[in-house]
Amino acid sequence: MILTPKILARLVAIVVLGVLLQLSFFSQVAIFHVSPDLLPVLVISMGLLGGTMTGVVTGFSVGILLDCLLIEPLGGASLVLLAAGYLAGLFRERFEIHSALVPPLLCMGLTIFAEIGFGAIELMLGTDATVSGLIMRDILLKGVFAFVLGWPIYLGLRRILRPALVEDQAVRRTRRPPVVGT
């Protein structure tokens, strides 16, 4: 990703808007009694567009802001989201995204990974309560919601960050019409 002050401003706006939208909207709606989780989808899409570095930094920033606004111990959400962003970025660097199904499928898989990660962090910090089997259903449903949200968010971010994307610039250069002699 080519970073300019303008692109940096856009990235900050994406992170802030994403967290605010999650807390004020997505966390407070329920479909089949489960709230969609936009933030892993946002971080994964950033990783898919910009690579590991973008994924990791976005994941860390989103996590810190989320923990600050929820007054949670800092670092837990960051750790999980930066891991999701890193894995998405790694996929982008190692493989080609051939099919339109790849981003939503990755969003689904890595969102489930992130939800399990949040659970692992909780266990690490000491959970002293019974865990209902319904939590598995909730995690899977969050994965399905991530699949649905994945494609529009990926496309939206790609549009917003187009000037900074290395691949898109290369494609645009190759598509430039040949100069015909006068």
Q: Which residues bind another protein (CB under 8 A)?
A: 20-35, 37-39, 52-53, 56-57, 60, 63-76, 78-79, 82, 86, 115, 118-119, 121-122, 125, 127-136, 138-139, 142
* CB closer to another protein out of 8 and 31: 31
Element (DSSP H or E) covering residue 13: helix 5-24
* CB closer to another protein out of 99 and 132: 132
Least distance in angstroms from the C-beta of 136 to another protein: 8
Please give the distance of CA 22 from its chain centroid, rounded to a whole number.
12
Helix, coil or strand: residue 31: strand
Least distance in angstroms from the C-beta of 126 to another protein: 9
Q: Residue 123, exposed/middle/buried by CB under 10 A (0-12, 13-18, 19+)?
A: exposed
Least distance in angstroms from the C-beta of 59 to another protein: 8
* CB closer to another protein out of 103 and 117: 117
User: What are the backbone dihedrals phi and psi of residue 179, each rounded to the nearest 5 degrees, phi first?
Assistant: -80, 125
* CB closer to another protein out of 36 and 104: 36
Are 39 and 62 in contact by the 8 Å Cβ rule? The answer is yes
Please give the distance of CA 163 from its chain centroid, rounded to a whole number.
19
Least distance in angstroms from the C-beta of 141 to another protein: 9
Q: What is the DSSP letter of 100?
A: T
* CB closer to another protein out of 6 and 25: 25
Least distance in angstroms from the C-beta of 96 to another protein: 19
Q: What is the DSSP letter of 101?
A: T
Q: What is the DSSP letter of 134?
A: H
Element (DSSP H or E) covering residue 125: helix 102-125
